[in-house]
Amino acid sequence: MAKLLIHGGRKLSGELQITAAKNAYLPILAACVLCEEKIVLHNYPHYCDTESMCKILTSLGANIIQEGSDLEIDPSALFSWGVESELACQVRSSIFMLGALLGRFKKARVAYPGGCEIGARPIDIHLAGFRKLGVKVEEKHGFIQCDASNMHSATILLDFPSVGATESLMMASVLTSGTTRILNAAKEPEIVDLENFLVKMGAKVRGAGTGEVVIEGVKKLKGCEYDPIKDRIIAGTYLIATLMCGGDVTLKGVKGEHLGALIDKLGQTACNIECKNDKIRVKAEGRMAALGKIETSVYPGLPTDLQAQILALQTISDGSSMICENVFESRFKHVPELIKMGADIHVKDRVAFVRGVKKLYGASVTGMELRGTASLVLAGLVAEGYTTVSGVRHIDRGYSAIESELSSLGADIRRVKD
């Protein structure tokens, strides 16, 4: 198993092109099964999660060819509507296949999804939405079995603005006659990107990003080319890394507005962050002041996917902060590892109380999930001495090569064999 070996203390500088958004690419890959013609997706990112989704599509009969940075998907010969457990359990996004397969075949049998262990991650909101659409849903032997022969349009009110449920229901509705409305829908930029992709294929979808998504069913979709948005969470990770290490970094390809809550929050401590067109430039020198009360929330609030990275920043900021994780019930697995590096953190329920310390010390630490492992890397970049981060497989799910991206900005980090 590989590890990341980091020698802390380097400043970061330079420019980095941010890769495509994992959480945009995953639903878009699922949505390809709705179409019976060839689709080309540009700037394919080699994350483990997107590779897992490609394996699921191939298992259903899709033909996928990688041409340079393009991914050519031919879903015309799809013959199956079932996703087996060994594939489904690799990623949370396998649950998106339900909506897409129901749209295409009016039936689906998908094993329970996997995903980062950051909470129970139920799918009740997805299934309640499908039932509202007239889908017969059965859960047994670890599978969700759906019969959508009588699927119809409906108005669905989500109990919670779930990202995945919004996306699953959008996909299930695009080929269902009539008008389907999804109320209390999630508003993330990745949902707007899914809408744009569906519309490019000829679907009639509007309202993504507003909280109410309206889908007018159409008969058929057509092939298209599409270039999904870049990853705002990766950009946020490297923005925070620069604030921790000091330096001058420009991140290319991400809109500042997609990180609005983070930039506003950081702006309270007189950070030098400049957003222009699709570039975010951050200049940092010396220690930052603590951010005080920090609340994660659904978009446009502070993303839960940046909570661990912000927490790492707070461990070496001047003063105390309180980080409330309001989205997932168990997303502080990185805390004990940061404490091993000298951080002063106390967790009670969904709140982490952090007192900034003068410095962190290199240690051997283990990541348990994607963004928590990224926060350990950030801590290693500023810690005195050497840090080894195990659990790199978690980080590879959502960063294509974190060590080469950080090295290109001047960090002393490399991947070593165990």
Of 26 and 245, which has the nearer Cβ to ligand EPZ? 26
Q: Is 321 in the site for ligand EPZ (CB under 6 A)?
A: no
Q: Is 197 in the site for ligand EPZ (CB under 6 A)?
A: no
Of 15 and 329, which has the nearer Cβ to ligand EPZ? 329
Q: Are 123 and 95 in contact (CB under 8 A)?
A: yes
Q: Is 122 in the site for ligand EPZ (CB under 6 A)?
A: yes
Measured from the CB of residue 43, what is the shortest distance to ligand EPZ in angstroms? 18
Of 190 and 403, which has the nearer Cβ to ligand EPZ? 190
Token pair for 176? 């269902």
* CA distance linking residue 262 with residue 297, whole number of Å: 11
Residue 146 a catalytic site member:
no
Q: Is 253 in the site for ligand EPZ (CB under 6 A)?
A: no
What's CA 167's distance to the chain center, in Å? Answer: 13
Amino acid of residue 415: R
Token pair for 282? 């951050």
Q: Of these, 86, 124, 139, 225, which contacts ligand EPZ (CB under 6 A)?
A: 124
**Element spanning 403, H or E:** helix 402-408
Measured from the CB of residue 159, what is the shortest distance to ligand EPZ in angstroms? 7
Q: Which residue stretch of 1-9, 161-169, 244-252, 359-367 sits at the interface with ligand EPZ (rule: CB under 6 A)?
A: 161-169
Q: Of these, 16, 135, 165, 182, which contacts ligand EPZ (CB under 6 A)?
A: 165
Q: Are 180 and 167 in contact (CB under 8 A)?
A: no
* CA distance linking residue 238 with residue 11, whole number of Å: 12
Q: Is 162 in the site for ligand EPZ (CB under 6 A)?
A: yes
Which residue is at the shortest CB distance from ligand EPZ?
164
The CA-CA-CA angle for residues 170, 118, 351, to 5°, reads 115
* CA distance linking residue 156 with residue 127, whole number of Å: 11
Question: Footprint of ligand EPZ on residues 276-315 (CB under 6 A)?
Answer: 304-305
State the DSSP string of 153-207. Answer: --EEE-SS--HHHHHHHHHHHTTSSSEEEEET----HHHHHHHHHHHHTT-EEE-
Measured from the CB of residue 83, what is the shortest distance to ligand EPZ in angstroms? 15
Q: Is 139 in the site for ligand EPZ (CB under 6 A)?
A: no
> CA distances (Å), 382 to each of 199, 244, 374, 385, in order?
45, 7, 13, 9
Measured from the CB of residue 327, what is the shortest distance to ligand EPZ in angstroms? 5
Of 169 and 383, which has the nearer Cβ to ligand EPZ? 169
77 CB neighbour count, 10 Å cutoff? 10
Q: Is 393 in the site for ligand EPZ (CB under 6 A)?
A: no
Q: Are 382 and 9 in contact (CB under 8 A)?
A: yes
* CA distance linking residue 245 with residue 8, whole number of Å: 9
Measured from the CB of residue 180, what is the shortest distance to ligand EPZ in angstroms? 18
Of 30 and 34, which has the nearer Cβ to ligand EPZ? 30
* CA distance linking residue 404 with residue 36, whole number of Å: 38
Measured from the CB of residue 331, what is the shortest distance to ligand EPZ in angstroms? 9
- Secondary structure letter of residue 361 according to DSSP: B
Active-site entry in 116, 146, 245, 275: 116
Q: Is 160 in the site for ligand EPZ (CB under 6 A)?
A: yes
Helices (H), 341-412: 370-382, 392-395, 402-408
Task: Map residues 82-111 to x or -, x wherever contact with ligand EPZ holds by CB under 6 A.
Answer: ----------xx------------------
Question: Footprint of ligand EPZ on residues 48-87 (CB under 6 A)?
Answer: none
Q: Is 125 in the site for ligand EPZ (CB under 6 A)?
A: yes
End-to-end, the C-alpha distance of the chain in Å comes to 5
The CA-CA-CA angle for residues 284, 289, 291, to 5°, reads 110
Q: Which residue stretch of 19-27, 255-263, 284-292, 315-323 sits at the interface with ligand EPZ (rule: CB under 6 A)?
A: 19-27
Active site residues: 116
Chain positions contacting ligand EPZ, by CB under 6 A: 22-23, 26, 92-93, 116, 119-126, 160, 162-165, 186, 304-305, 327-328, 370-371, 398
